[in-house]
Amino acid sequence: MEDKIIKQLKQHNLLKVIDEPLDIYLEIPHIAYIEVKKEDSKALLFTNPIDKKNHKEFTTPVLMNVFCNEEAVELFIGDGDKIAAEIQSLLKMKPPSGFMDKLSMFGQLFNLKSVFPKRLSSKGECQQIIKKGAEAKLSDLPILTTWEQDGGPFITMGQVYTTSLDGKMHNVGMYRLQVYDDQTLGMHWQIHKDSNHFFHEYKKAGKKMPVSIGIGGDPMYIWCGQAPLPIGVFELMLYGFVKKENARLVKSITNDIYVPHDVDFVIEGFVDVENMRMEGPFGDHTGYYTLEEEYPFLEVTAITSKKNPVFAATVVGKPLLEDKYMGHATERIFLPLLQTTAPDLIDYYMPENGVFHNLILGKIKTAYPGHAQQIMHAFWGVGQMSFVKHAIFVNQDAPELSSDEIIPYILNRVDTETLLITKGVVDALDHSSPKFAVGGKLGVDCTGDEIEELGIEVLEDALLLEKMQNISADIKGLKQYFTDTKNPIVVISVEKNRSQKYLIEELKPLFSHIKILAIVDEKNNTLDNPYMLVWRVVNNIDSNRDIYIDGHTISIDATNKNSHDNFQRRWPDDVVCTTSVIEDLRKRKIINVDDAFIDFWGIVEGK
């Protein structure tokens, strides 16, 4: 019988089936990485995954890019705006004033009966095949190695189910899981996650922690696993709210964790709270490698599955990826909850090339001076919004936040007097901060009127580059953007041999021609690609260290940091595909993209 999810994808013409034998090492994930960047991207079903290194063939197909576009998101999650409106209606519910109001309220509350997961007493589809002990081998699953520098194979769409020590709180999170051997799996739950809080409860009690990992099943489980819910709220309650049906759970075979009955695989086990293991590196969703760190690990006690399972996986790296489409749904659905903290928030937008937590645009109903700064602080104190590094706020009369018109609107209002530079918590994956998980925050208040002309003289690119190169031979290229706004942007590429504060100081005589200056490395950056330049800049800067203000000129050092900057941590490499693999796949006509596509997305090294 055909898998339900695959059947739905086929019915909506959202699936591409690839029958050619392809390697779980680099080949399959590289194909998925390129496919999702296409305008007409589809989900991919690899029916014949193989492990060339170990001369192994798998009967389990690999499904990737299930959230391949907006249509797929609506198919599996629903209309984000409609769901948000329903949440908003519940948040604004008032005591009924009449009989009809009571009926209406009863209907709304009756729908909430589906929110709470239902525990079944029987076994689930996910337990049609049960392997325990030595028979439960991770190598029997087609687990992918995505990037050449990865520490090994990683499960990338694992739903990690955990329970608090007292059994009262439940959580599902989506964390990467490194395979060490057939019975050992790394647990990359970060310091801010519920699972990590539970881990420390078990550690304090000196008890091993039960964990079960679901793979596949309803794609909603995956989306729920990354939803930014408050601590202590079980994510599968969101499943019930959105789907209008209870999530149906079954008890794991070798521990007491409950998992959805219809996932394709369940990996069960216990985490030894007394031991850690080095995990990584891993090419992550920031587009950089996350470096090696110690994390807990799972000792596998059982692997159960459907009779004919499908192995679900995703690929993370430089944008654009399927997290764009998942993130857009999250953005729409969680707007009403953000508005409970910031009532004057009208809308917000987290562009995927800002890697979501690195850049947010917010539209507010400005009521008084400092209102934008107040909301910035509110954002930086709320759940996962606290990880946002750069926040730009505009007034209610601004264009749509995702439109092309929003950038000139912002640039006509940027004023050095209204910048807010502070410090706070940042994502554990952030590589640019001087210290782990703590770094700079930048707030830009663009809620006011257009600023006055400051009389800078905009020069042609070639002339400005010539003047700069007369000052420093470090400068290799220059491109200007939005020269018709009050704050034109000058982007230069450099061959870095020193701290850029010295270059910025040398360029001060030219500040009569410059309002915003951004500096990037010559290597791996293309100056006529603003999409990827935004990605580079917001990834690479720490506002306390890398922003220089001189009068009305803002300089931004977005180069890779090293000893010249007194940067004590190790700077990670960009995530790139292996050139030989890409060329081979192109030669075999498995991928069909031109050099311009490869260059635009920075697919391989040096582009």
Taking only the tens place, the pLDDT of each residue in 410-433 is 999 999 999 999 999 998 889 999
Cα separations (Å) of 475 from 424, 470, 503, 605?
A: 33, 9, 9, 21
Contact 12, 71 (CB under 8 A): yes
Residues 415 and 493 both lie in one domain: no
Q: Which residues pair with 282 in a beta bridge?
A: 290
Last residue of a domain, one of 260, 281, 313: 313
What does DSSP assign to residue 577? B
Instruction: Please state, in angstroms and rounded to a whole number, the distance separating the CA atoms of residues 52 and 66.
Output: 25
CA atoms within 13 A on the CB side of 439: 28
Residues 309 and 328 both lie in one domain: no
Please choose, from the candidates 313, 369, 320, 371, the residue with its C-alpha nearest in 3D space to the C-alpha of residue 342.
371
Question: Is 106 part of a structural domain of the chain?
Answer: no
Determine the average pLDDT of the residues in 32-61: 97
Residue 87 amino acid letter: I
Find the domain containing 395 and state its range: 323-446
Determine the average pLDDT of the residues in 171-197: 89
Q: Is the pLDDT of residue 313 over 50?
A: yes
Q: Is the pLDDT of residue 500 over 90?
A: yes
The confidence score (pLDDT) of residue 100 equals: 44
Contact 437, 384 (CB under 8 A): no
Q: How many other C-beta atoms lie within 10 A of the C-beta of residue 498?
A: 12
Q: Is the pLDDT of residue 93 over 60?
A: no
CA atoms within 13 A on the CB side of 191: 11
Confidence band, pLDDT 50/70/90 cuts, at residue 113: confident
Question: Is 573 part of a structural domain of the chain?
Answer: no
Containing H/E element for 587?
A: helix 579-587
Q: Which residues contact 528 (CB under 8 A, 6 or more apart)?
A: 479
Q: Is the pLDDT of residue 102 over 80?
A: no
CA atoms within 13 A on the CB side of 587: 6
| Beta-strand relationship, 489-494 and 475-481 | antiparallel
Q: Which two tokens stand for residue 384?
A: 């996962």
Confidence band, pLDDT 50/70/90 cuts, at residue 192: low
Higher pLDDT, 3 or 43: 43
The confidence score (pLDDT) of residue 367 equals: 94
Question: Is 503 part of a structural domain of the chain?
Answer: yes
Instruction: Please state, in angstroms and rounded to a whole number, the distance separating the CA atoms of residues 146 and 411.
Output: 39
Residues 42 and 175 both lie in one domain: yes
Confidence band, pLDDT 50/70/90 cuts, at residue 564: very high
Number of domains in the chain: 3
The confidence score (pLDDT) of residue 109 equals: 46
Taking only the tens place, the pLDDT of each residue in 206-245 is 999 999 999 999 999 999 998 888 778 899 999 998 999 9
Question: Is 594 part of a structural domain of the chain?
Answer: no
The confidence score (pLDDT) of residue 111 equals: 58
- In 399-510, beta strands by DSSP E: 419-425, 438-446, 475-481, 489-494
Please choose, from the candidates 302, 314, 64, 289, the residue with its C-alpha nearest in 3D space to the C-alpha of residue 175.
314
Q: Is the pLDDT of residue 99 over 50?
A: no
Supply the pTM of this predicted model. 0.94
Confidence band, pLDDT 50/70/90 cuts, at residue 337: confident
Helix (H, G, I), strand (E, B) or coil at 197: helix
Residues 183 and 286 both lie in one domain: yes
Cα separations (Å) of 361 from 349, 358, 444, 534?
A: 5, 11, 10, 13
Taking only the tens place, the pLDDT of each residue in 67-80 is 999 999 999 999 98
Q: Is the pLDDT of residue 97 over 60?
A: no
Last residue of a domain, one of 252, 286, 313: 313
Question: Is 570 part of a structural domain of the chain?
Answer: no
Q: Which two tokens stand for residue 408?
A: 């000139």
Residues 306 and 332 both lie in one domain: no
Contact 200, 302 (CB under 8 A): no
H helices of 113-218, in order, are 194-205
Rounded percentage of the chain residues whose pLDDT exceeds 90: 84
Q: Which residues contact 560 (CB under 8 A, 6 or more apart)?
A: 496, 521, 540, 571
Average pLDDT, the chain: 93
Q: Is the pLDDT of residue 62 over 50?
A: yes
DSSP 352-420: GGGTTTT-EEEEE---STTHHHHHHHHHTTSGGGGG--EEEEEETTS--TTSTTHHHHHHTT--GGGEE
Asked whether the CA dihedral 215, 218, 223, 229 is positive or negative, the reply is negative
Contact 301, 130 (CB under 8 A): no
Residues 418 and 522 both lie in one domain: no
CA atoms within 13 A on the CB side of 38: 15
What does DSSP assign to residue 170? E
Question: Is 92 part of a structural domain of the chain?
Answer: no
The confidence score (pLDDT) of residue 1 equals: 55
Taking only the tens place, the pLDDT of each residue in 445-482 is 999 999 998 789 999 999 999 999 999 999 999 999 99
Instruction: Please state, in angstroms and rounded to a whole number, the distance separating the CA atoms of residues 557 and 536.
Output: 11
What CATH number is associated with residue 236? 2.30.110.10
Residues 164 and 242 both lie in one domain: yes
Confidence band, pLDDT 50/70/90 cuts, at residue 90: low
The confidence score (pLDDT) of residue 107 equals: 47
Containing H/E element for 74?
A: helix 70-76
Last residue of a domain, one of 413, 446, 479: 446
Residues 10 and 144 both lie in one domain: yes
Residues 438 and 472 both lie in one domain: no
| Beta-strand relationship, 547-550 and 553-557 | antiparallel
Instruction: Please state, in angstroms and rounded to a whole number, the distance separating the CA atoms of residues 605 and 517.
Output: 26
Q: Which residues pair with 394 in a beta bridge?
A: 363, 446
Q: Is the pLDDT of residue 104 over 60?
A: no
Contact 541, 571 (CB under 8 A): no
Question: Is 105 part of a structural domain of the chain?
Answer: no
Residues 467 and 403 both lie in one domain: no
Q: Is the pLDDT of residue 110 over 50?
A: no
Q: Is the pLDDT of residue 106 over 80?
A: no
Q: Which residues pair with 439 in a beta bridge?
A: 424
H helices of 226-354, in order, are 236-243, 323-333, 335-341
What does DSSP assign to residue 229? P
What CATH number is associated with residue 474? 3.40.1670.10
Question: Is 521 part of a structural domain of the chain?
Answer: yes
Q: Which residues contact 298 (CB under 8 A, 6 or more apart)?
A: 177, 184, 185, 186, 187, 211, 213, 267, 269, 270, 271
H helices of 236-303, in order, are 236-243
Contact 464, 457 (CB under 8 A): no
Residues 396 and 497 both lie in one domain: no
Determine the average pLDDT of the residues in 134-160: 97
Q: Which two tokens stand for residue 347?
A: 């809308």
Residues 362 and 509 both lie in one domain: no
